[in-house]
Amino acid sequence: MSLEIKVPPVGESITEVTLSAWKKKDGDHVEMDEVIAELESDKATFELTAEKAGTLTTKAAEGDVLPIGAVVAIIEEGSGAAATAADKAPAAPVAAKEEAPAAAPASAPAPAAAPSLLEIKVPTVGESITEVTLSRWIKKDGDVVEMDEAIAELESDKATFELTAEKAGTLKTIANEGDTLPIGAVVCTIEGGGSEAPRGATAVTPAVADAVNESPQTAPSKGTTYASGVPSPAAAKILAEKGVDTASVNGTGVDGRITKGDALSAQKPAPAAPVPAAKPAAPAAASSAPVGPRSDRREKMSSLRKTVARRLVAVKNETAMLTTFNEVDMSPIMELRGKYKDKFKEKHGVGLGFMSFFTKAVTEALKEWPAVGARIEGEEVVYSNFADISIAVSAPKGLVVPVIRNAESMSLAEIEKAIVVLAGKARESKLTIDEMTGGTFTITNGGVFGSMMSTPIINSPQSAILGMHNIIERPVAVNGQVVIRPMMYLALSYDHRIIDGRESVSFLVRVKQLLEDPTRLLLGV
């Protein structure tokens, strides 16, 4: 019985892949879940595995560009791993055969059915996410797991989440820590149901049993793939390209296996320099050699950092982005906070910060200038009758932008509570995909790091972003007199394709007016 192995779906935006390397050759015997080829898309490299044991017949060549669903190979069902082990076992002397235990009679009952096997795959975690990184195994290869128990931690460019066991059984890991996996890729398998034979054991016929008993050593079990110092297929390819010996690489994967991340960070040792002939010492004044140790340190970019970089470049290239500036006198808000912050915290349980005033001012200004909160979809402009405000937060793994839903209908206290919750989740890397998607306008505060002025980049697909900066006391003219006031520069970056100069400037002026007279926020005027 034959089985066609096809190119799997690897993301809704990917329509074709390239067959970069065959890991098994035409005619080879392969085991179930064994890596047979390496496929490469424009976003990631991933492994193609055998969906059953048998003999491999290749249908595509290395370098071929294949559409999703194309047949890559065919696996003809073979005699199984036992026969393969028997073929490989060397013949032993007859005396050794006589000492071997007697084989079971031909009429012996058939071995128990193999336990059921369930593949655990990378789940869909958002329509814009096509790949994730396996950041950590919570359970180890060979562990017994319970249904719904967390077994691994996956990381996308937007969030970190746990992968759970879909049934109880024995865990068999396939992917390694640090591997980048497309959506739908097999991460591991769970064997369960019925009594299991020891891991790696295979049912054999009497004749094969004799051959195995004669041999001094049986074929290694599949688990030896994870031996210390053995590279994964992707890691082996990278090390070969670099010319790095695997013996010089310290594996950080399961049981010391060399992962793709280990291979990327591995460096080829420099050849020993020949001992130079003795030369007269040069005068100390003529030496230009640097003083002190000099070294470089390389770190693999996280999925979040790579995605942020890609999106920022795309925004700069695909939008007509401009920035307009203004300044706001913060003294009215600072006086209001100083007068009521203790009572506010006593009543609502949260502090009264600046961000709630800015969020409220933005929602009011968006009602007057809705184009600032609109977005372009194809050849249409989409206007929203609500304000979902994205707040940029600096998290341990990078910049994240959680969203406050329906901020236009919230009070200052409700906004402050929402900010506290979202910021806490960001620091603990517990934000969900839903909590970071769908905003209509973004606010970012570079002032907390000391920035005086900046041109923030639009958070696509939104059309505008407001940048807050630090508050500095400066001399300003008020009613013909020079006075010292706490001033802040505001920056509004906007997409000129959809927002005209009149709208952007008027929007920012309205925000300034509301902040300099905060009673308007309470009265809605």
d(CA 363, CA 389): 8
Instruction: Pick the closest to residue 132 from 80, 203, 71, 185 (CA basis).
Output: 185
- Buried b / exposed e over 223-251, threshold 16 CB at 10 Å, is eebbeeebbbbbbbbbbeeeebebeebeb
Q: What single letter denotes the amino acid at residue 259?
A: T
- As annotated, the active-site residues are 496, 500
The sheet carrying 16-22 orders its strands as 45-49, 35-40, 16-22, 65-67
DSSP 492-516: EEEETTTS-HHHHHHHHHHHHHHHH
Q: Which residues contact 431 (CB under 8 A, 6 or more apart)?
A: 158, 159, 400, 402, 422, 425
3-state secondary structure of 66: strand
Interhelix angle 412-427/331-348, rounded to 10 degrees, is 80
Contact between 321 and 417 under an 8 Å Cβ cutoff? The reply is no
d(CA 21, CA 41): 13
Contact between 228 and 257 under an 8 Å Cβ cutoff? The reply is yes
d(CA 395, CA 424): 9
